[in-house]
Amino acid sequence: MSKSTNMKPRVAFFDFTGCEGDQLQVINLEEKLLELVEIVEIASFREASSAHSDDYDIAFVEGSATTPHDAERLEEIRENATTVVALGSCATIAGINAIRNSQDFEAVKERVYGGEGDLFESWSEAKPIGAVIDVDYEIPGCPIDRQEFLRVLTDLVRGREPKMVNYPVCLECKLNENTCAYLRDDICLGPVTRGGCNSICVNGGTRCWGCRGLVKNPNENAACDVLEEHGLTTDEVMNFYNLYFGWQRTEEVVQ
């Protein structure tokens, strides 16, 4: 797998439009970082080192794509890397940046930049990186789960196919014996959101916000039944869906 002369794959991290919280999660591996550098060589990781090299095998890309320049950078990364992994919600589903996708773009520019909006070259929609280049794997979450990141990277280094779960957060809530957020008179996106987070937000007494994106083939009828049972309509929860699902809803990318 490695293009370098030693046997360790070379890994690089890149950031686009986002908060870089996913890369901080990697740094938060703390002592496990020592285990990480035993199996890979870091070619570029701006959050942790000023060193940079364009010689890498695996590229982890954080953040959504929002400009033509982003597209150019992503194409260069894709050309250099053997494997590209989208890291976090912004990279996998355009994340919170996609809230603007359903709004008037000129009004958005005016709100953000005032009268200088035309000085900034930007697309009218924020896009996940998979809408610009081919992506081999995705690690969802806002932020990512650092143990999930470590598992995916270890699988890649060992030549195994990383496996991601495809069941809703509700399953993990039941395993954790959580009181359903709806029974607490809250709105929750757990019925249609991809699990794998161990229902961390609901464990803490709040709701699922949908940061891991829609589960494939979500049971929309069951989700509507839950809303109806608790006196809610789809329109009433639409703003919650828009927080993370802006791209998936408008592009209908879930098969």
pTM for this predicted structure: 0.91
Q: Token pair of 157, please?
A: 């280094």
Distance separating the N- and C-terminal Cα atoms of the chain = 31
Burial class (CB in 10 A: 0-12, 13-18, 19+), 33: middle
Burial class (CB in 10 A: 0-12, 13-18, 19+), 204: exposed
Angle formed by the axes of helices 32-39 and 146-157, nearest 10°: 20
Q: Distance between CA 29 and CA 229 in Å, rounded?
A: 42
How many CB atoms are closer than 10 A to CB 154?
15
pLDDT confidence of residue 134: 98
Of residues 189, 190, 203, the one with CA closest to residue 239: 189
Q: Domains in the chain, ordered, with CATH? A: 10-157 (3.40.50.700), 169-251 (no CATH)
pLDDT confidence of residue 117: 82
Q: Are 125 and 101 in contact (CB under 8 A)?
A: yes
Burial class (CB in 10 A: 0-12, 13-18, 19+), 80: middle
For 224-250, b/e burial (b = at least 16 CB within 10 A) is eebbeeeeeeeeeeeebbbbbbbbbbe
Partners of residue 44 on adjacent β-strands: 12
How many CB atoms are closer than 10 A to CB 9?
21
CA separation (Å) from 147 to 18, 25, 29, 198? 21, 9, 8, 12
128: cis peptide before it, omega within 30°? Answer: no
Residue 13: phi and psi, rounded to 5, are -115, 135
How many CB atoms are closer than 10 A to CB 32?
12
Q: Could you list the pLDDT tens digit for every one of the 255 residues in the chain?
A: 556 546 899 999 999 999 999 999 999 998 888 888 899 999 999 888 878 899 999 999 999 999 999 999 999 999 999 999 999 999 999 999 999 998 999 999 999 888 888 888 899 999 999 999 999 999 999 999 999 999 999 999 999 999 999 999 999 999 999 999 999 989 899 998 999 999 999 999 999 999 999 998 877 777 788 888 888 877 777 777 788 988 987 665 443
pLDDT confidence of residue 3: 61
Q: Token pair of 142, please?
A: 């806002």
Q: Token pair of 63, please?
A: 């953040």
pLDDT confidence of residue 232: 82
Amino acid at 138: E
Q: Distance between CA 193 and CA 208 in Å, rounded?
A: 8
pLDDT confidence of residue 1: 53
